[in-house]
Structure 1
Amino acid sequence: MADEVRYEVSGPVATVTMNRPEYRNAQNSAMTYALDAAFTRAVDDDEVKVVVLAGAGKHFSAGHDIGTPGRDVDRSFERKAVLWWDHVGKEGGDQRYAREMEVYLGMCRRWREIPKPTIAMVQGACIAGGLMLAWVCDLIVASDDAFFADPVVRMGIPGVEYFAHPWVLGPRAAKEFLFTGGRFDAAWALQRGMVNRVVPREELQKETQALAEQVATMPRFGLALTKRAVNQAEDQMGLRAGMDSVFGLHHFAHAHNAETAKDSLAGMDARSMRDASGS
């Protein structure tokens, strides 16, 4: 497991912590595969009943790494999420599609199916790719200073790769969320059912641990089957098929940008995206 992720166990609860606080836990591939290794470790440990996903420092996650010194888009890792060729050495849409299908859409779907309950513990920024990391979890506990945004429409792209917006927010709130690209606070997210609980920042870890321990009192196999039942119902409501269709639109937008703008991100970088979303 790489330094980008920490792994700790307390009683029946494993806490997996993203550990790039200096970059607001921006997600590069090294972090992605370290997260996967940590989740695998928790699944294989029979003493662990519940998994908490956290972010070190002030923020949960500012999203995909699109500009730190640790950005590693040209690096190969052991592929686990989808059966496709490596993106390294490929060109154009071939390269981007292969990478994003693996490290973004594929990994998020893999983590959504973890057979143990998962709880996202969110403070500060949860932006764009950070939403994907929180949304794959079964429950979300947010601090009162948490805020959420998906500003990638500013790039001309219809939302992040794991397009769960209409299911976690409802269609109209999802449109407001995407059309404005602005910051929405934890109270707004709670009102729309995107998070389960909002607690004071200083109580976030304690309250999340208490919820995890409460869930952990239930039978392990019963929890696994219940999680699968709800996920299957959500898929029957169109989540998986809808996500596949939007993934195609997502890549069409990248291709359009590459032909008409400075690059596939429409010339935007981490700083301009941060400034545009007011975070």
Structure 2
Amino acid sequence: MENSNEFEQREDQSAYETEQPVLYEVKDGVAIVTMNRPTFNNAQNGQMTYALDQAFRQAVDDDEVKTILLKGAGKHFSAGHDIGTPGRDINKPMDRVNLWWDHTNKPGGEFLYVREQEAYLNMCRRWRDIPKPTIAVVQGACIAGGLMLAWVCDLIVASEDAFFQDPVVRMGIPGVEYFAHPYELNPRIAKEFLFLGGRMPAQRAYEMGMVNRIVPRDQLCDQAMEMALTIAKQPRLALALTKQAINHIEDLQGKRTGMEAAFAWHHFAHSHSELISGDRIGGYDARAMVKANKEGQ
């Protein structure tokens, strides 16, 4: 039997720029959860992931909270997974909330497979199943891993200047881990979205049914709050059961099982990239991805 102790734990060299990667407040029965890494366009590291989970848990446990808003501080909602800031903590053990083992001392493809089961796929599923209605409030960029944060929410309200993008095919990867593309978009549009890797403006996302409403940026928070307050007038259990019913229909249509297959292909792609190039994400760091995104927009 393989002994994981044969493999040394990878050295963690991350340096966090803030001790509060997520802010939390409650107003009139609405929990406002704000991603708070504006310096890095709210790139999602492990610190932020687990802080989000704690904030969502706090909102669920508070009987006064009826609705949850998810926001991003600063210019952009989220630039996606952290692949290049000083706070990239991929080698740091975390206090896990799902029943997967620690990834940091595991070899080969197991390292990333286990980490992304815990921190991405299973965490997103956990948040999708929150029994209280959730609204993503999206301004500016919502890229790759940022899509996962918006897609787990029940509603998406976007500013006029918002855009959506999943450019990871250029890394050799078939889309982000929480593979909801064919459910958020028409399948043919989902292929275009991934094959071309360009920006989808808020207006087209609205036309595809991915976004519920588009509003001027200076009205974004107010209109999202108005929606949340309206929803909060409904009975708590009725809202939870309605959400369960619709999510269940999606799963009957194959969303969960399809996502399992896509996640396996995703990790085959990571391992393939590492074998042929020595890098799991095709040699792209954050700076290279930003440059390529701008050129390909």
TM over 0.5: yes
- Are 2:151 and 1:147 equivalent residues in the alignment? no
Q: Residue 64 of structure 1 corresponds to which residue in structure 2? A: 81
Q: Residue 33 of structure 1 corresponds to which residue in structure 2? A: 50
Q: Does the 8 A contact of 1:24 with 1:60 survive in 2? A: yes
For 1:100-179, list aligned pairs within 5 A: 100-179=116-195
Say which SS state the counterpart of residue 43 (structure 2) adopts: coil
Deviation at 1:2, TM superposition (A): 4.9
Deviation at 1:262, TM superposition (A): 3.6
Deviation at 1:92, TM superposition (A): 1.4
- Out of 186-195 and 90-99, give the one that drifted further: 90-99
1:197-231 CA-to-partner distances (Å, cap 9, x unmatched) read: 00000000000000000111100000000000000
How far apart in 1 are the matches of 2:204 and 2:290? 20
1:175-215 CA-to-partner distances (Å, cap 9, x unmatched) read: 01000000110001000000100000000000000000011
Identical counterparts, % of pairs: 63
Deviation at 1:149, TM superposition (A): 0.3
1:110-137 CA-to-partner distances (Å, cap 9, x unmatched) read: 0000000000000000000000000000
Q: Residue 279 of structure 2 corresponds to which residue in structure 1? A: 263
- Out of 15-24 and 1-10, give the one that drifted further: 1-10
Structure 1 length-normalised TM: 0.98
How far apart in 1 are the matches of 2:271 and 2:92? 22
Q: Does the 8 A contact of 1:257 with 1:266 survive in 2? A: yes
How far apart in 1 are the matches of 2:128 and 2:19? 22
Q: Residue 258 of structure 2 corresponds to which residue in structure 1? A: 242
Q: Residue 107 of structure 2 corresponds to which residue in structure 1? A: 91
Deviation at 1:277, TM superposition (A): 1.7
How far apart in 2 are the matches of 1:195 and 1:91? 40
1:12-34 CA-to-partner distances (Å, cap 9, x unmatched) read: 10000000000000000000000
Q: Residue 269 of structure 2 corresponds to which residue in structure 1? A: 253
The structure with more radius of gyration: 2
How far apart in 2 are the matches of 1:263 and 1:169? 30
* Structure 1 residues 2 and 226, CA gap change in structure 2 (3 angstroms): farther
Q: Does the 8 A contact of 1:88 with 1:95 survive in 2? A: yes
- Are 2:209 and 1:193 equivalent residues in the alignment? yes
Structure 2 length-normalised TM: 0.92
Q: Does the 8 A contact of 1:2 with 1:31 survive in 2? A: no
Q: Does the 8 A contact of 1:2 with 1:34 survive in 2? A: no
Unmatched 5+ stretches in structure 2: 1-17
AA aligned to 2:156 is I
Which residue among 86, 92, 95 is the counterpart of 1:78?
A: 95
- Are 2:289 and 1:273 equivalent residues in the alignment? yes
Q: Report runs of 4+ in structure 1 exceeding 2 Å deviation.
A: none
AA aligned to 2:80 is G
Q: Residue 223 of structure 1 corresponds to which residue in structure 2? A: 239
Q: Residue 5 of structure 2 corresponds to which residue in structure 1? A: none
1:30-65 CA-to-partner distances (Å, cap 9, x unmatched) read: 000000000000000000000000000000000000
